Copies of this chain bind each other. A is one copy, B any other.
Amino acid sequence: MSEATEQAAPKVKRPTRAHRREEILAAATRVFGSKGYHQGSLVDVAAQVGITHAGVLHHFGSKDKLLWEVLEYRDRVDVQHLEGKHIPGGMDLFRHLVTTARLNADRRGIVQAYAVLTGESVTDGHPASSWVGQRFAVLRGEISEAVRDLATERDVRLPDGEAERAANAVIAVMDGLQLQWLLDPDAVDLAEATRFAIESVLTATLGSTVQIVSP
């Protein structure tokens, strides 16, 4: 009898398409993160959500397409803590980068997936290589822009290409620190190390001490 009144929670039986896809994406992130794309199989992914590998293909068509959606999924998670606000510029961008690093220290799976897939992507014809390349290009643009903002703010004239060089160094240091942290979490404090490294690059680039204060 009480069942009729419980119609407020309508869908308990079959998972909706959207929900199931999300489950599979989360599982695929774990699998690709812990085994890599080539070594991680659709059977592994399927087992984690309690279906067969054919069921996964029913939702995503092919393993390549699944990977693409996993990468987009990571992008969504990456900016969700910004809550609608667009990606910031100037000093706020660097604060955002450090904040992301701090959050990442509690999201090992996603960091690992990113590191593994980025490393794998430099192999010939890897399906993720264009995604990673694009990602680097976008980051390079955004960060060098922020560096130029800071330079203008402080009346510093930057040599040609200096902003891009700084941007590349910032991106590099974040990726490299993640690798070290994954292999030995005790050897690196992800957030602190990231803050230190970015401050170093900015200080050297702008010629005066730069401090990134936690928001």
Residues of A within 8 A of B (CB): 34-36, 38-39, 112, 115-116, 118-124, 129, 132-133, 136-137, 140, 165-166, 168-169, 171-177, 179-180, 182-184, 187-188, 192-193, 196-197, 199-201, 203-205
Residues of chain B lying within 8 A (CB to CB) of residue A184: 133, 136-137
The main secondary structure of chain A at its interface with chain B is helix
How far is B183's CA from A205's CA once the two chains are assembled, in angstroms?
Answer: 25
Q: Which residue of B lies closest to A122 (CB)?
A: B182
How far is B187's CA from A203's CA once the two chains are assembled, in angstroms?
Answer: 23
How far is B38's CA from A61's CA once the two chains are assembled, in angstroms?
Answer: 24
> Given A112-B122, A136-B187, A183-B132: A193 and B169 within 8 A (CB)?
yes
